[in-house]
Structure 1
Amino acid sequence: MTTKLDQLKAMTTVVADTGDLEAIARWRPEDATTNPSLLLKAAASDAYRPMLDAAIAASLSYGGSESEQLGYATDLLAVMAGEKILKLIPGVVSTEVDARLSFDTGATLSRARRLIDLYDQRGVDPSRVLIKIASTWEGIRAAEQLEKEGIRCNLTLLFSFVQAAASADAGAFLISPFVGRILDWHIAHSDRDSFEPHEDPGVLSVSRIYNYFKANGYGTVIMGASFRNTGEIEQLAGCDRLTISPALLESLQEDTGHLPRRLSPEKACSDDPVRPMTENRFRWDSNEDAMATEKLAEGIRKFASDQVELENQLRRLSAAA
């Protein structure tokens, strides 16, 4: 019988939310996405050790301060991981800019261009790479410029409608709304310990964004992310893309039930008016959304912390060499 995963793949592009090369080889998704947390976890595996050693060796000849060398090493590690992943999938891989640059448009542009240059130097077609940037106002402005340069972007850590609307207005190729983290916040700030999939706040948020984009002709791709259970995924069947962890991919693979399509461009309808996006509007609407403000800040801190730990791991390996 057809599994739910097979049914999902017929209507949605499935993306692997992991840096684990063995898991990607097993599930053979169309695309893959990584972030500092996933890279930190993957770096503990034997498959990544040669890449760690190579990144350290290259950074020593890069020059500059220790901080600059470590930044270069982590960028190179991310690119080498992306290169390996691209050999296992037919589509694209997302590679993330250092989260500590989330509020610096110029620095984000520089790091994004370096990542693309590193891919190019290794013979990887830059069109197979999406640059992941936190969807702050500064990050969205960086993505707007990068898209004009032909560098496609994935705006991540997205929790609110205004972040999505601003990203679409900027011409971003793709956005990653975080379904599960929205659910986490609502559980923590209510007297409930669960939500049914059809009323899940993260599901409702992505559905609203999807309908707004499709009803108004925006070309920005919507990729739901950060799922807590298969029920959330099933409620978003038909979304452009969904990035799913190996554990949830396995659950979908083991389920042979019927999976109906929930989202489609033909049925898209939105009551949200199209309004010019200004910095004032973005910041005010963000300020009024406590969940989005808190989860964005928390996500940036977490990714930044894992970036620092990854650099520390490289520092220890370098000292031991």
Structure 2
Amino acid sequence: MQLYLDTANVGEIREAAAWGILSGVTTNPTLIAKEKGVDFKAVITEIAELVDGPISAEAISLDGEGMVKEGREFATWHPNVIVKVPCTTEGLKAVYQLARDGIRTNVTLIFNAAQALMAARAGAFVVSPFIGRVDDTGVDGMQLIREISQIYKSDAEIKTRILAASIRHPRHVIDCALAGADIATCPFKVLQQAMRHPLTDRGIEQFLADWKARG
């Protein structure tokens, strides 16, 4: 399973990219807005220079025609940019048209397997089920990943990939991999947490203490 970073913070992306683990980055209007004063196009193109993989840039139009117009503009910024659109009927119209133009899309805000199936049929490159937000409703988010994975695997025509979003903690990452997700997009703090373990810290301390005590 590939790992993406879910942020528009260039510093976080630069640090995680240096670990050699990133296959892509996802952004959204909220993440862009958090980075005060940044230019949307400038930050997306800077991210694309740091990470050699898909970079999601989200349209803000609510109608299909507007999404297509924005998507075509985003696609000129860098070959790795993919257009993020919401899972609505207007979003499906945009996905279908952009796919015909050879432009990849990320269909976001997916909360059931039927949405994921229709997004795939429309031509989505990836779909983004929000597992953390599904969990918040009292439903098992991982079951959603399993259902989508089973549906996609049962149909050879579907090439759409599953990008698990709304990741809350490191266990989510492992469970997504086991459930059949192709990608997990994570906040930077989750990647940091995943690399920490008290036994690792204790082992390093012991090794250093033994080295200093040699004699």
Structure 1: which 4+ aligned runs deviate by more than 3 Å? none
* AA aligned opposite 1:116: A
Q: 1:90 aligns with which of 46, 52, 61?
A: 52
Distance in 1 (alpha carbons) for counterparts of 2:195 and 2:14:
15
Aligned residue pairs total 192
Partner of 2:173: 233
CA contact (8 A) 1:97 1:132 kept: yes
Matches within 5 A, 1:59-74: none
Distance in 2 (alpha carbons) for counterparts of 1:255 and 1:175:
32
Partner of 2:67: 108
* AA aligned opposite 1:86: A
CA 1:235–1:30 in structure 2 vs 1: closer, same or farther (change >3 Å)? same
CA contact (8 A) 1:79 1:95 kept: no
Structure 2 residue runs of 5 or longer lacking an equivalent are 200-215
Partner of 1:143: 95
1:204 matched to 2:143? The reply is yes
Distance in 2 (alpha carbons) for counterparts of 1:211 and 1:129:
28
The SS at the match of 2:137 is helix
Matches within 5 A, 1:44-55: 49=37, 52=38
Deviations 1:104-153 (A, max 9, x none): 11121112122224x1xxxx33xx11100001011011101101101100
Partner of 1:8: none
Q: 1 or 2, which has the higher strand percentage?
A: 2
1:18 matched to 2:28? The reply is no
Distance in 1 (alpha carbons) for counterparts of 2:2 and 2:172:
16
* AA aligned opposite 1:215: S
* AA aligned opposite 1:139: G
The SS at the match of 1:14 is strand
CA 1:256–1:92 in structure 2 vs 1: closer, same or farther (change >3 Å)? farther
Partner of 1:40: 33
Percent of residue pairs bearing the same amino acid type: 30
1:247 matched to 2:196? The reply is no
Cα displacement (A) at 1:224: 0.2
* AA aligned opposite 1:184: D
Q: 1 or 2, which has the higher helix percentage?
A: 1
* AA aligned opposite 1:136: T
Cα displacement (A) at 1:241: 0.7
The SS at the match of 2:90 is helix
CA contact (8 A) 1:164 1:209 kept: yes
Q: 1:79 aligns with which of 41, 44, 49?
A: 41
TM-score by length of structure 1 reads: 0.57
Deviations 1:159-202 (A, max 9, x none): 1111101011112111111000111122xxxxxxxxxxxxx611
Partner of 1:30: 23
Distance in 1 (alpha carbons) for counterparts of 2:150 and 2:16:
29
Partner of 2:164: 224
Distance in 1 (alpha carbons) for counterparts of 2:43 and 2:149:
31
Matches within 5 A, 1:274-313: none
The SS at the match of 2:162 is strand
Structure 1 residue runs of 5 or longer lacking an equivalent are 1-11, 44-48, 53-76, 187-199, 258-321
Cα displacement (A) at 1:255: 4.1
CA RMSD of aligned residues (A): 1.7
The SS at the match of 1:228 is coil
Partner of 1:70: none
